[in-house]
Structure 1
Amino acid sequence: MSVNTIIKAFCLNVTLLTCLSSCEDKKSAYEEVKGSKPNIIYIMADDLGYGDLGCYGQDSIETPNIDKLASEGLLFTQHYAGSTVCAPSRNSLMTGQHMGNTTIKSMEKPIKKEDITVAEVLKSAGYKTAIIGKWGLGNVGTTGYANDQGFDYSFGYYDQIRAHNYYPDYLMENGEKIPLKNEVIYIKDSTHYAVGIGNAATKKVEYSNDIFTEKALTYLNKQNTDPFFLYLPYTIPHGDNESWLIKQHGMEVPDLGIYANKNWTEPKKAGAAMITRLDSYVGQIMAKLKEKGLDENTLVIFTSDNGPHEEGGWRLSFFDSNGDLKGMKRDLYEGGIRIPFIARWPNKIKQNTTTNTVATFWDFMATASELSGEPLPSSSDGISYLPTLMADDKDQKQHDYLYWEFDTNLIRRAARKGPYKLVTIKDKKTDATTVELFNIEKDMAEDHNIAKDHPTEVKELQTIINKYKKS
């Protein structure tokens, strides 16, 4: 064998070994971002429906900034809220627990002292943490006070009921009342005193959600090298319950904007204006991130706490607020719990993509844990959707099942396993129970109850529901 032949063979072997070594060492996009500690901004609307955004099919309400967020990121088609109403859904998001295990199942309790929140997890990883907007999980002096639950900074509504008024007389900042210029009157109805706002436009000076945005922009101005978690739960487009007491429509907004001359009722104009105003807030947040040079290292999530409402003159059928889904807020049909969910992270999340991955609010803690490098608390029911964000389907784990419950005069339960979802509704007055089974993959509108034809699936899902029955 010639010397040249020996040299060529040696070089070929070295090249092959180098290639194999580099291939073995190369990490997936998912592995690359685990523990990378990006900034996280979690923007949440209040009662925004699956079909209320242009990127989800809305054609009457303009949402250009949120639509742009979707075009620059990933849109989920099967993301679920923690519950079908505000407080328990937010509790699920913060604690990483589904309704079978979490403290707040309706609207009556603060988070327990021993509950571990996603803010506490991220704070342990060195994050600065802030909540600006509607907390709703405990006032000052309770175990649910935001600053005792992992947040360095808090501003907005601590109280769930006060958040139903867009022109309050004060908001809370780190446990202190911050007076506003709004003049408040007190109206007595047959059961209670309620805070309301006078009819004169001059008495409605400071709109709470505008203030939230100003505070968020100020907060972002102060951020530099340390990672931060900004939880930004707006109250738009929830109805303003206080307006109902003084016989105004309950969709409150400073102006009707581009909808002022539409041939719609005032509540419809106002509701559309609320959503477009929310969209403008998102645009301001994104502009500030770019201005500050924070854009590249910030994961921005946009979502809603539950499905759309029919309160204060809003009618979801007019705008198809629930899209092709059945039901709305307070239902456990898809329209009450399936929500818009968009994630954007430049050069990490692929632009203009869509996923059918089934994910939930109680998955956020697991996702944040992986991003921060902190261990996931054993109390969590969640599964990280970080692989899905990184388009790494092979590493994406799946839930064995999903579970929800909500009680009023009707005892509602729902469980989903694979394509099948069982919904049971028991009427407390008659003790009658309806049992409905749907194949969500084939029938997302839940038009066809197939319970009689699938007794095995009904039994399996009923066993999951029975697991969380109250004693």
Structure 2
Amino acid sequence: MRNKTFLFLFIFLAAGTWSCAYAERPNVIFVVADDLGYNEIGAYGQDKIKTPHIDKIAKNGMKFSQFYAGAPVCATSRSVLMTGQHSGHTRVRGNAFPEDNGKQELYEQDYTLAELFKDSGYATAAIGKWGLGMPNTQGHPNKQGFDYFFGYLSQHHAHNFYPTFLWRNEIQVGLPNEVKPMGNGHMYGAGFATKAKVYAPDLFVDEALQFIDHNKNKPFFLYYATNVPHSNNEATLINRADGAEVPNLGIYAEKPWMLGAKRHAAMITRMDNDIGKLMHRLQMHGIADNTIVIFTSDNGPHIDHAEPMDFFKPSQPLSGWKMELWEGGIRVPFVVSWPKVIKANQTRSEVAYFGDFMATFADILQVKPPKNIDSHSLLPIFSGNAQQFKAHDYLYWEFRGRDTGLVALKDGRWKGIIRKKNGKKMELYDLQSDIGEQKDLSEDYPKIVAELTQYLKNARTPSENWPAIINL
């Protein structure tokens, strides 16, 4: 009997050392910035823009050095996040034009992170930018597992930080701003504010604080998808620096920088202050220790409002930007804290991506993940059992746009890129020795090129709305 008891304890400790921590299920605050580069927060080396609260999340928990978004643009990346499927399997595989939003919405049969939490008894809310379904469609957040939604439904509407309205669930909420409609998204509220009174991100943090207050005594999942620091693309047409919409320059007012740079930095530091408010509210309610706080970005930087664009070196040491297949387009910051489980001040080199959160949270909630996902749980890393983490043999991206093409990443090291403009020729980079992707090694390693090409041939499923980019 004694031996059986010892064996049971051994299995319990080996397979689930953290299980006792789940007597009380953790809350989750999942913050996604919009177009924030790998090097735009202090924890990753930024020395001009101040982000003390985000940096504190990293200091109190861990940061990942090789973590990837779902795509180099927002809609696909967020679809990957919500479904746990890579961009060759997920529903939304590109950014659609405003007149063709039907291609950019989740379907009823898509199972989302929010539904995972809701089915587990969590209160769920999405606040900020959605971009995966409009009113009266099956992709609306209220039909995808979120009890509550406040923000922008259209990504084009989200360009405008001083909108004339936002959405509360399926009801429009009017705001006192006045806007000159502009751009191809003007039908959804895109444009330039001629009278700027209410800054949408200020409303988002207030809504988030209220949600925390209302749910402090039960588990909750808060998806906080700010539109900072995305440019107001329409405003840049009037004056480049105007694309960085922010109420004031804050601590950067006296900096000897060009106006666009000051505004860009002010946007990010203001967002950081908002995150600090969320963290303080958790402390105030005594729920900080058992709340998972995640901060990341939906893709690489797109700062056409900054002057000059490379002033902050937003992708350093990577090459590339948003809408590009270089590392700078898809590798993003990812910091996470969970004081009850994660030991402080860690830097992790494991390779992971947006799709992994589905398996991660299923593991944390101790429920079965949905079938047909491309997702590996990060919980072993979080809980100090990294040797049990199942690394991806391959990761996959596809993208339609300025840098149309396919990407395969093997073992986190060998990155193959097939760009449509180059036909079926693959470029090959060794990220271990060449993080800046400066030297194409395709001629030196033909076997790896062949292996990655074969993977790309079979990595995607057909999509009526998103046909294959390159027929291999």
- Give 2:323's aligned residue: 330
Hey, what's the Cα distance between the residues in 2 that align with 1:36 and 1:333?
Answer: 41
Query: Residues 285 and 21 from structure 1, CA distance in 2 versus in 1: closer, same or farther, beyond 3 angstroms?
Result: same
Name the CA shift for 1:186/1:29 in 2 (closer, same or farther; >3 Å): same
Q: Could you tell me how far apart the structure 1 residues matched to 2:324 and 2:64 are?
A: 21
Partner Cα distance (1:25, 1:102) in 2: 35
Aligned residue in 1 for 2:416: 422
Alpha carbons 1:84, 1:330 under 8 Å: kept: yes
| Cα gap change, 1:120 to 1:254, in 2 (>3 Å) | same
Q: How does 1:250-399 map to 2 (within 5 A)?
A: 250-313=243-306, 315-399=308-392
Corresponding residue for residue 6 of structure 1: none
CA distance in 2, matches of 1:193, 1:368: 33
Q: Do the aligned partners of residues 21 and 384 (structure 1) sit closer, same or farther apart at CA in structure 2, a change above 3 Å counting?
A: closer
CA shift, 1:223, in A, is 1.3
Q: TM-score, normalised by structure 1?
A: 0.91
Which residue of 226, 243, 247 corresponds with 2:239? Answer: 247
CA deviation digits over 1:63-90, x for unaligned, max 9? 1111111110011001100000011100
1:382-405, Cα deviation, whole Å (9 max, x unpaired)? 111111111212211111210001
TM-score after normalising by structure 2: 0.90
Distance 2:53 2:232 in 1: 25
> Equivalent residue for 1:29?
17
Secondary structure of 1:94's counterpart equals helix
- Per-residue deviation, 1:436: 1.2
Contact 1:73–1:353 (8 Å) recurs in 2: yes
CA contact (8 A) 2:162 2:193 kept: no
2:405 corresponds to 1:412:
yes
1: distance between equivalents of 2:208 and 2:365?
Answer: 22
Q: Which runs of 5+ in 1 are unaligned?
A: 1-12
Aligned equivalents of 1:76 and 1:424: distance in 2?
A: 26
- Counterpart secondary structure, 2:332: strand
Measure the CA separation in 2 of the matches of 1:224 and 1:195.
Answer: 35
Structure 2 CA distance for aligned equivalents of residues 417 and 267 of structure 1: 39
Paired AA for residue 78 in structure 2: R
Contact 1:34–1:370 (8 Å) recurs in 2: no
Deviation string, structure 1 residues 439-466 (Cα, Å, up to 9, x no partner): 1122211121111100000011111222
SS in 2 for 1:451: coil
Corresponding position of 1:52: 40
Please tell me whether the aligned partners of residues 35 and 370 of structure 1 are also in contact (alpha carbons under 8 angstroms).
no
Q: Shift of residue 184 of structure 1?
A: 2.0
Q: 1:22 to 1:302 in 2, by over 3 A?
A: same
For this pair of structures, how many residues does the alignment match? Answer: 451
Identity over the aligned pairs, expressed in percent?
A: 42
Looking at structure 2, the residues matched to 452 and 187 of structure 1 have their Cα atoms a distance apart, in angstroms, of: 48
Q: Distance in 1 between matches of 2:24 and 2:380?
A: 14
Alignment CA distance shift 1:32-1:193 (3 Å): closer
C-alpha contact (below 8 Å) 1:125/1:373 kept by paired residues: no
Match of 2:52 among 59, 64, 88: 64
Q: Deviations over 1:243-293 (max 9, x none)?
A: 124335211110011111111111110001111111101100000000011
Whole-angstrom distance in 2 between the partners of 1:398 and 1:294? 32
Aligned equivalent of 2:224: 232
Q: In 1, Cα distance between the equivalents of 2:227 and 2:189?
A: 19
Structure 2: segments with no counterpart, 5+ residues: 97-103, 461-467
SS of the equivalent of 2:455 reads helix
Letter in 2 for 1:423: I
- For 2:212, the aligned partner's letter is L
The offset of 1:195, in angstroms, is: 3.9
Contact 1:363 1:383 in 2 (8 A): yes
Are 1:126 and 1:226, in contact at CA under 8 Å, matched by a contact in 2?
Answer: no
436-445 or 309-318: bigger deviation: 309-318
Displacement of 1:411 in angstroms is 2.6
Query: Which whole-Å CA distance do the structure 2 matches of 1:40 and 1:375 have between them?
Result: 18
Structure 1: distance between partners of 2:216 and 2:248: 35
Q: CA RMSD in A?
A: 2.3
Q: Which residue of 1 aligns with 2:91?
A: 103
